[in-house]
Amino acid sequence: MNHAATAVDTQCINTIRTLAMDAVQKANSGHPGTPMGLAPVGYTLWSRFLRYHPEHPDWPNRDRFVLSVGHASMLLYSLLHLAGVVEIDEHGKRSGQPAISLDDIKQFRQAGSKTPGHPEYRMTTGVETTTGPLGQGCANSVGMAMAERWLAKRFNREEKALFDYNVYTLCGDGDMMEGISSEAASMAGHLKLDKLCWIYDNNTISIEGHTELAFSEDVIKRFQAYGWHTLHVTDANDLQALSNALEAFHCNRGAPTLIVVDSVIGYGSPHKHNTAAAHGEPLGEDEIRLTKAAYGWPEDASFLVPDDVRTHLRDALLDRSESLYEKWAEHLLQLEQYEPELADELRRMRAGEMPEHWQKHLPSFDTDAKGVASRAAGGEVLNAFAEQIPWLLGGSADLSPSTKTNLTFEGAGRFSADDYSGRNLHFGIREHAMGAIANGMALSYLRPYTSTFLVFSDYMKPPIRLAAIMELPVVFVFTHDSIGVGEDGPTHQPIEHLTQLRSTPGLLTLRPGDANETLELWKVALAQTHRPSCMVLSRQPLPTLDRTRYAAASGAAKGAYVLAGGDEPEVLLLATGSEISLAVAAYEQLKSEGIAAQVVSMPSWELFEDQDQAYRDSVLPPAVKARVVVEQAGPLGWDRYVGQTGAKVVMNSFGASAPLAKLQEQFGFTLENVVKQAKAQIQLTQH
Q: Say whether 428 counts as a known binding-site residue.
A: no
The single-letter DSSP state of residue 429 is S
Q: Is 470 helix (H, G, I), strand (E, B) or coil?
A: helix
Q: Say whether 210 counts as a known binding-site residue.
A: no
495 vs 630, beta carbon nearer a copy of itself = 495
Does residue 70 belong to the site contacting a copy of itself (CB under 8 A)?
yes
225 vs 329, beta carbon nearer a copy of itself = 225
Please list every residue from 448 through 467 that binds a copy of itself, using CB under 8 A: 455-456, 458-459, 461-462, 465-466
Residues 522 and 680: their CA atoms lie apart, in Å, by 37
Q: Please, what is the minimum distance in Å from the beta carbon of residue 131 to a copy of itself?
A: 8
Q: Say whether 402 counts as a known binding-site residue.
A: yes
Q: Please, what is the minimum distance in Å from the beta carbon of residue 320 to a copy of itself?
A: 32
CA angle 448, 454, 457 (to 5 degrees): 65
The single-letter DSSP state of residue 296 is T
CA angle 187, 416, 373 (to 5 degrees): 85
Q: Is 541 helix (H, G, I), strand (E, B) or coil?
A: strand
Does residue 113 belong to the site contacting a copy of itself (CB under 8 A)?
yes
Q: In this chain, which of 101, 224, 240, 367 binds a copy of itself, going by CB under 8 A?
A: 224
For residue 438, the one-letter residue type is A
H helix or E strand, kind and range, residue 289: helix 285-295
Q: Please, what is the minimum distance in Å from the beta carbon of residue 214 to a copy of itself?
A: 3
Does residue 143 belong to the site contacting a copy of itself (CB under 8 A)?
no
3-state secondary structure 543-554: EECCCCCCCCHH
Only segment of 48-56, 380-388, 589-597, 629-637 that touches a copy of itself (CB under 8 A): 629-637
Residues 287 and 18: their CA atoms lie apart, in Å, by 12
Residues 469 and 119: their CA atoms lie apart, in Å, by 12
Give the number of other CB atoms < 10 A from CB of residue 474. Answer: 29
Q: In this chain, which of 255, 335, 433, 602 binds a copy of itself, going by CB under 8 A?
A: 433
Please list every residue from 341 through 380 that binds a copy of itself, using CB under 8 A: none
Does residue 120 belong to the site contacting a copy of itself (CB under 8 A)?
yes
401 vs 594, beta carbon nearer a copy of itself = 401
Q: Is 458 helix (H, G, I), strand (E, B) or coil?
A: helix
109 vs 558, beta carbon nearer a copy of itself = 109
Residues 157 and 243: their CA atoms lie apart, in Å, by 31
Residues 369 and 162: their CA atoms lie apart, in Å, by 51
Give the number of other CB atoms < 10 A from CB of residue 229. Answer: 20
Does residue 214 belong to the site contacting a copy of itself (CB under 8 A)?
yes
Q: Say whether 56 counts as a known binding-site residue.
A: no
Residues 170 and 180: their CA atoms lie apart, in Å, by 15
All residues at 6 or more sequence positions from 620 whose CB lies less than 8 Å from its CB, including other chains: 560, 572, 574, 600, 627, 641
Check 178, 431, 517, 606 and give the catalytic one: 431
Only segment of 11-19, 36-44, 484-492, 523-531 that touches a copy of itself (CB under 8 A): 484-492
Does residue 149 belong to the site contacting a copy of itself (CB under 8 A)?
no
Only segment of 222-230, 352-360, 593-601, 670-678 that touches a copy of itself (CB under 8 A): 222-230
Q: Please, what is the minimum distance in Å from the beta carbon of residue 93 to a copy of itself?
A: 24
Q: Say whether 331 counts as a known binding-site residue.
A: no
Q: In this chain, which of 97, 234, 408, 652 binds a copy of itself, going by CB under 8 A?
A: 652
Please list every residue from 274 through 293 that binds a copy of itself, using CB under 8 A: 276, 280
Does residue 427 belong to the site contacting a copy of itself (CB under 8 A)?
yes
Q: Please, what is the minimum distance in Å from the beta carbon of residue 401 to a copy of itself?
A: 6
Q: Say whether 180 counts as a known binding-site residue.
A: no
x-marked contacts with a copy of itself along 524-563 as a string, rule CB under 8 A: ----------------------------------------
Q: How far apart are the first and last CA of the chain?
A: 89
Does residue 208 belong to the site contacting a copy of itself (CB under 8 A)?
yes
Q: In this chain, which of 16, 399, 560, 571 binds a copy of itself, going by CB under 8 A?
A: 399
Residues 106 and 476: their CA atoms lie apart, in Å, by 39
Give the number of other CB atoms < 10 A from CB of residue 486. Answer: 22
Q: Please, what is the minimum distance in Å from the beta carbon of residue 330 to a copy of itself?
A: 38
Does residue 76 belong to the site contacting a copy of itself (CB under 8 A)?
no
Helix ranges, 389-502 (H): 400-403, 431-442, 461-470, 497-502
221 vs 357, beta carbon nearer a copy of itself = 221
Q: In this chain, which of 4, 207, 614, 623 binds a copy of itself, going by CB under 8 A?
A: 207
Tell me the DSSP string of 159-208. Answer: TB-S----EEEEE-HHHHHSHHHHHHHHHHHHTT-TTEEEEEEE--EETT
Q: Say whether 357 counts as a known binding-site residue.
A: no
Please list every residue from 14 through 53 that binds a copy of itself, using CB under 8 A: 27, 29-30
Helix axes 136-155, 179-190, angle to 10 degrees: 20
Residues 582 and 384: their CA atoms lie apart, in Å, by 29
Q: In this chain, which of 13, 134, 574, 619 binds a copy of itself, going by CB under 8 A?
A: 134
Is 431 among the residues known to form the active site? yes
Q: In this chain, which of 206, 374, 451, 632 binds a copy of itself, going by CB under 8 A?
A: 206
Helix ranges, 449-490 (H): 461-470
Q: Say whether 31 counts as a known binding-site residue.
A: yes
Give the number of other CB atoms < 10 A from CB of residue 502. Answer: 18
Q: Please, what is the minimum distance in Å from the beta carbon of residue 441 to a copy of itself?
A: 16
Quote the distance between the C-alpha of residue 99 and its chain's center. 23
Q: Are 494 and 457 in contact (CB under 8 A)?
A: yes
Residues 10 and 312: their CA atoms lie apart, in Å, by 12
Please list every residue from 563 through 592 that binds a copy of itself, using CB under 8 A: none
* Binding-site sequence positions for thiamine diphosphate: 71, 132-134, 174, 203, 279, 456
* Binding-site sequence positions for Mg(2+): 173, 203, 205
* Binding-site sequence positions: 31, 71, 132-134, 173-174, 203, 205, 279, 375, 402, 456, 480, 488, 492, 539
Catalytic residues, by residue number, are: 431
